[in-house]
């Protein structure tokens, strides 16, 4: 059987569209190419709303370009998948069909449960002996799963990503209570309480980066970065301060990412409190 060589993965997310090219299915695959375009599909799909024509065309152009890059790199296999925004939008089939027509490649719109499973498998790739809870934060949704003795269970998803929360509006009454109730709907607190937690996703990584800067941590490696929750809370409070959004330049984080971080920081505070977490481990591994 011929082994796969280079593999291209195109992730159509709620907050961005990313292409990653790996040097084959190895135990620790090498990144050959990594590109991301911020594109907030999740802001359009709320409540099953359809993508407008301009959005469908714009996304298909991005995918066409990514596919052209892959083919120029002589990649043996290209995989395209979509997550929460494509799950929600009433006309995501139109986007999927346009991509298939232009590239001859199908798009796998994965369920929230499958997204949680893939995220947990990504954690096991980076931490083969990992046990505990995984939390994968995207633009629209957040996924949870439990890992025990190499097995992944209790895969669930909730529309609690920063874009989903922002769409509720600043004047939404009882936001914290709403977040807690949605978390308790998808997390088995008894099985998750006091367990190690592994954090996946761009907003979580940005929070880790800010904490490293504030504490003058000597390394810049996110993978495996472990923090006590009581120490991280000071950084979460800093991010939620009203002046934070004026400081993204000095934090070396894009404005597109920074504006989502106060909501993400509040979500993480609530997760820490509800699960009584003592320490958190950040990961650069995940679904892809």
pLDDT in tens, 177-201: 999 999 989 988 887 887 889 999 9
- Please, what is the average pLDDT of the chain? 89
Q: What is the pLDDT of residues 13-60, one digit of tens each?
A: 999 999 999 886 655 667 789 999 999 888 888 778 999 999 999 999
- Give the residue carrying structure tokens 């957040």: 142
Q: Is 62:99 a contact under the CB 8 Å cutoff? A: no
Residue 171 pLDDT grade (very low, low, confident, very high; cuts 50, 70, 90): low
The pTM (predicted TM-score) of the whole model is 0.88
- DSSP lists the bridge partners of residue 281 as 198, 226
Q: Is 119:93 a contact under the CB 8 Å cutoff? A: no
Q: Strand 16-22 vs strand 31-38: parallel, antiparallel, or unpaired? A: antiparallel
Q: What is the pLDDT of residues 206-230, one digit of tens each?
A: 999 999 999 999 988 899 999 999 9
Q: What pLDDT sits at residue 73?
A: 92
Question: Helix or strand or coil: residue 61?
Answer: helix
**Distance of alpha carbon 262 from alpha carbon 248, whole angstroms:** 12
The helix/strand count (H/E) of the chain reads as: 12, 11
Instruction: Give the closest residue to 47 by CA, choosing from 16, 17, 85, 12.
Output: 85
**Distance of alpha carbon 37 from alpha carbon 15, whole angstroms:** 9
């Amino acid at each position: 059987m011929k082994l796969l060589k280079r593999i291209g993965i195109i992730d159509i997310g709620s907050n961005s569209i990313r292409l990653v090219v790996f040097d084959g299915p190895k135990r620790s695959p090498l990144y050959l190419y990594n590109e991301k375009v911020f594109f907030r599909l999740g802001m359009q799909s709320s409540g099953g709303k359809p993508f407008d024509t301009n959005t469908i065309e714009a996304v298909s152009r991005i995918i066409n370009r990514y596919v052209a890059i892959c083919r120029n790199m002589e990649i043996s296999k290209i995989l395209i998948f979509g997550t929460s925004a494509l799950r929600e939008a009433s006309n995501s089939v139109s986007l999927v069909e346009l991509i298939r027509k232009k590239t001859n490649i199908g798009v796998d719109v994965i369920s929230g449960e499958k997204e949680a499973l893939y995220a947990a498998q990504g954690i096991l790739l980076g931490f083969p002996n990992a046990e505990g809870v995984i939390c994968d934060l995207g633009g629209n949704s957040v996924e949870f799963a439990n890992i025990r003795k190499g097995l992944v269970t209790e895969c669930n998803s909730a529309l609690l990503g920063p874009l989903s929360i922002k769409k509720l509006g600043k004047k939404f009454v009882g936001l914290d209570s709403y977040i807690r109730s949605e978390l308790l709907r998808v997390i088995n607190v008894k099985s998750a309480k006091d367990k190690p937690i592994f954090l996946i996703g761009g907003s979580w990584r940005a929070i880790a980066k800010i904490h490293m800067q504030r504490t003058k941590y000597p390394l810049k490696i996110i993978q495996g970065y472990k923090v006590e929750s009581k120490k991280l809370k000071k950084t979460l409070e800093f991010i939620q301060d009203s002046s934070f959004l004026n400081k993204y330049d000095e934090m070396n984080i894009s404005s597109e990412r920074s504006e989502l971080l106060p909501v993400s920081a509040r979500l993480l505070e609530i997760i820490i409190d509800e699960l009584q977490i003592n320490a958190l481990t950040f990961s650069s591994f995940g679904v892809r």
